[in-house]
Chain A
Amino acid sequence: MADKKVSINGIDKEMESERDRVLSGDSENLNKEDEQPRSEAPEESLLKEIYDFLTSMKTAVVLLVLIGFASFIGTLVPQYKLGGQMTIDNMKQIRPLQYRIYEFFGLFDIYHTAWFLSLLALVTLSLLLCQIPRVKKIWKRTMTPKYLADEEYYAKFKNNAKFHLQKDVPGTKEELKRLLGARLYKIRHKNEGEKILFDAGRRRWGAFASLIFHFSFLIVGVGIIIGLLFGFNGYLEIIEQKTGYVAEGNFTQVKAEGPFFKSHKPFGLYVSEFNVVHGPGGGPRGFVAHVNIIEDGKNIKKTEVRMNRPLDWNGYRLFQQSYGFAPDIKIEDGQNISLVDNPVKFWLGQDQSYGQNYLDFPGRENLTFEMFVVPADPTQFGLPFIEMKVKEGTADPKEIFQGRVYEGESANIGDYKFTFKKMMDYTGLNIVYNPGITIIYTGMTLGSIAILFSLYFHERRIWAVISPNGKGTHLRIGGLSSRDMPKFSREFDAISHEIAETIKGRRS
């Protein structure tokens, strides 16, 4: 038995399909007795056609392949929402035709195009609809006993055995019950004339794990939709020692707002300090905004928003997402009129080692400041400084200044006076309200557990028929496993061995 030749060709393949049919609940067709002629009237309604299309495995596969391919394309084509703006602008200038084609198909924001979202919706629907017939099948297969009385049928199992045993029918029945019970099989049996039929199953719930796994997609999907309909995602930049308001109309950017989102109680955040926490090597290890929460004009609480440690307030969740430099500068002209006298946000350069800004002034079109701010290097001594180029002149702007101004210093630039009063930072907070996230997490956790059970715990089933044979009995058994046949074969062999040993008899 152990060195049984296994090949995927020929007869074994037939057996495998037998197995699939038995386990998938189609075994009724094998046991001709309870055959039901499939007399579904051909319903030619559109609804039925759509249903058939969606529940077809082929459709699901084609949809998945399309989604996979489109997703892959999305990783190659620059995306607006993933920082691809500059590359796209570049393409628009250099290769306008390619740009127009890409733009037409929405390739620059491929994951939010109507066609991509429709594909996602269709595949989810298809996956779910495919499960509906399975629920009934699996329920029937696992919950209702199925007895195989026809001894000829057992020969079709890859794992089957025949015994001539010395014990009588009731004795054999008790022994078989004990043997299978010791291996944690749940046993159902019935008498049929002189015969006793067994249907023993183990880990029958394993079959439901796969169903639960697929339904967990539905839960995740519901969570996503709730988030999209009722949720909110905004972005707010606040300069140190200033107050920003988490309130409608005050956000730097509203990234997403569900049509049914209702604003929560507004509150203010006074950012007393923003810090980049450096590790021993000098690289940033964390970002912290120290904040005071202000409600109705009163300081309510002193707390912090730290990277990876969001702050929950009034139903919003605040994430320390970004930061930048906002040096406090003052520019005065010859008549002591201030052109600027406040912290100015600079946008961050590539590796966050500098900030960049470009200032011009209404009414003084001929004056431009091109500035780079460099913060103090944590690993070295030194002050932050602003490196700048100042130009003046209408037709042919002349450079009137180029140089560095350190924190706390001033420079005279022509008639103007530039002062770098203080280095300041600003924090960029991602503000989220997502009522669907718990549902999404639930669905994902459930799915993870279910896939584990579905793949690691295999349903097994053993059938047997005991019939009298002179003074002793004749025992025929056969079994199947939903997956991992080799392991089941070993178990089946062990059981066969035990039967021959303990019930005293020989295997034929």
Chain B
Amino acid sequence: MDMQTSSVMMVGNDLYFYYTALLLYLFSGMGYSFAVILKREKLTRISTVMLAIGLLAHTVSIAVRYYEAGHPPWTDVYESLSVVGWSTSLVLLVFFNRIRIALLGAIVLLVNFLIMAFGVSMYSSPTIQPPAILNSIWLIIHVSLTLVAYGGFTVAFGLAILYLVQERRKKRGKAGAPSESKRNKLPTLDALDSMCYKAVSFAFPFMTFGGLVAGAIWANESWGTYWAWDPKETMSLVTWVVYGGYLHARVTSGWRGHRAAILAIAGFAAVIFTFYGVGFLLPGLHSYLGS
């Protein structure tokens, strides 16, 4: 038995990089917002560079955490939210390289900042050991892939909001006004809709395999039960069904545009409830998040 106490290291070095990333994301999000308001193209570029550096710092933070904790760093609230934030930024950066919409950057980074700021408020020392049940290879697969899916869904949410914003602007006859600079002009409704669809289709296989399948395998390898209707399992199934409905309604019933955007937002609400609601409010096998 180890006689070490848990007070040896209260704050890990990961936190410095985490804060760096957090600030860079905030500045980047603010930069994007100003780019929208002031219609300055240059600000968009600077913001994207800040986002990229922030992502780099964030990657280092996760690596340091892994090294200091000695286990994959997605076992508690702080660690999981860090990975959600990381994958959101990554998906945003990849998307941004193609489409360059400052408003998307502003919305997604704001959501991301809130997620990560909440995460750091739940900071735990890297020396605190996760519950024994999490000591499994399937943890790495299950949780990491699910969090990547959440990142994709977050971006889809941002795009759905953009869609609704653009739709309103269009109704008021603002869209395409000559005063808008070319870069910061929102893309067409069709393009937004199609990007939102892409983000969901990117995330959905991750949710399918990472969230549900790997989760079921993990449960079966750890408890001998692949499905127990535990609240988190149930809610992730509900989330999966909502996004499945989104993909389905699109292909078979031609649900695009407005209705699809609403579904994407509903899906994100289910993600939030699955991630926060179940972890904090409801008991169950997954409620280690709250402890």
Contact = CB atoms under 8 A, between A and B. Distances in A.
A456 B202 CA distance: 8
A313 interface: no
A310 B228 CA distance: 18
A223 to B, nearest CB: 9
Contact of B201 (A64, A79, A287, A483): A483
A302 interface: no
B120 interface: no
Interface centre among A284, A285, A308, A379 (most CB of B within 10 A): A308
Interface in B131-152: 131-133, 135-136
A278 B131 CA distance: 10
6 contacts: A57-B252, A61-B249, A71-B235, A82-B283, A321-B223, A431-B224
A319 interface: yes
B94 interface: no
Interface string B95-138: 00000000000000000000000000000010111111101100
B96 to A, nearest CB: 16
A16 interface: yes
B1 to A, nearest CB: 5
Contacts of B237: 71
Contacts of B4: 280-282, 379
A317 interface: yes
Contacts of A64: 241, 245
Given A7-B190, A57-B252, A455-B201, A283 B131 contact: yes
Given A67-B241, A307-B132, A430 B216 contact: no
Contact of A6 (B3, B190, B253): B190
A129 to B, nearest CB: 14
A447 B224 CA distance: 22
A480 interface: no
A284 B2 CA distance: 11
Interface of B: 1-6, 125, 127-133, 135-136, 188-191, 193-194, 197-198, 201-202, 204-205, 208-209, 212-213, 216-217, 220-226, 228-231, 234-235, 237-238, 241-242, 245, 247, 249, 251-254, 256-257, 278, 282-284
Contacts of B191: 6, 486
Contacts of A447: 208, 213
A280 B283 contact: no
Contacts of A448: 205, 208-209, 213
A310 B225 CA distance: 12
B254 A319 contact: no
Nearest to A255: B225
B238 A282 contact: no
Contact of A319 (B131, B224, B231): B224
Contacts of B223: 319, 321, 430
Contacts of A444: 212-213, 216-217
Interface string A439-460: 0110011011001100110000
A20 interface: yes
Contacts of B129: 278-285
A83 B284 CA distance: 8
Given A282-B5, A455-B201, 18 more contacts: A8-B193, A71-B237, A79-B229, A81-B228, A111-B229, A280-B4, A281-B125, A283-B128, A283-B132, A284-B132, A286-B132, A308-B136, A310-B224, A378-B3, A379-B4, A379-B5, A455-B247, A456-B205
Contact of A8 (B229, B231, B256): B256
| Size range of the chain A interface in the assembly | 35 or more
A379 B213 CA distance: 38
B238 A68 contact: yes
Contacts of B220: 437
Contacts of B252: 57
Given A7-B189, A280-B129, A378-B2, A483 B221 contact: no
Contacts of B194: 484-486
B11 to A, nearest CB: 14
A16 B127 CA distance: 56
A80 to B, nearest CB: 11
A54 interface: no
B123 to A, nearest CB: 15
A233 interface: yes
A17 interface: yes
Contacts of B251: 483
Contacts of B242: 68
Contacts of B254: 16-17, 20
A432 B135 CA distance: 21
A485 B197 CA distance: 11
Interface of A: 6-8, 12, 16-17, 20, 57, 61, 64, 67-68, 71-72, 74-76, 79, 81-83, 111, 233, 277-287, 307-308, 310, 317, 319, 321, 378-379, 430-432, 434, 437, 440-441, 444-445, 447-448, 451-452, 455-456, 483-486
Interface centre among A8, A67, A281, A432 (most CB of B within 10 A): A281
Nearest to A75: B231
Contacts of B213: 444-445, 447-448
Contacts of A286: 132, 135
A68 B267 CA distance: 12
A17 B255 CA distance: 11
Given A283-B128, A455-B201, A82 B253 contact: no
A71 B233 CA distance: 10
B5 to A, nearest CB: 6
B247 to A, nearest CB: 7
Contacts of A378: 1-3
Contacts of B230: 82
Given A307-B222, A379-B4, A430-B223, A280 B127 contact: yes
A112 B69 CA distance: 41
Contact of A71 (B130, B238, B282): B238
Contact of A285 (B135, B204, B225): B135
A440 B205 contact: no
B235 A72 contact: yes
B101 to A, nearest CB: 15
A283 B4 CA distance: 11
Contacts of B127: 280-281
Contacts of B226: 437, 440
Report, nearest first, the 3 A-B pairs whose CB atoms are least far apart: A279-B129, A432-B224, A75-B231
A282 B125 CA distance: 13
A287 B254 CA distance: 52
Contacts of A485: 194
A5 B2 CA distance: 69
A224 B251 CA distance: 29
A451 B205 contact: yes
A502 to B, nearest CB: 29
B216 to A, nearest CB: 7
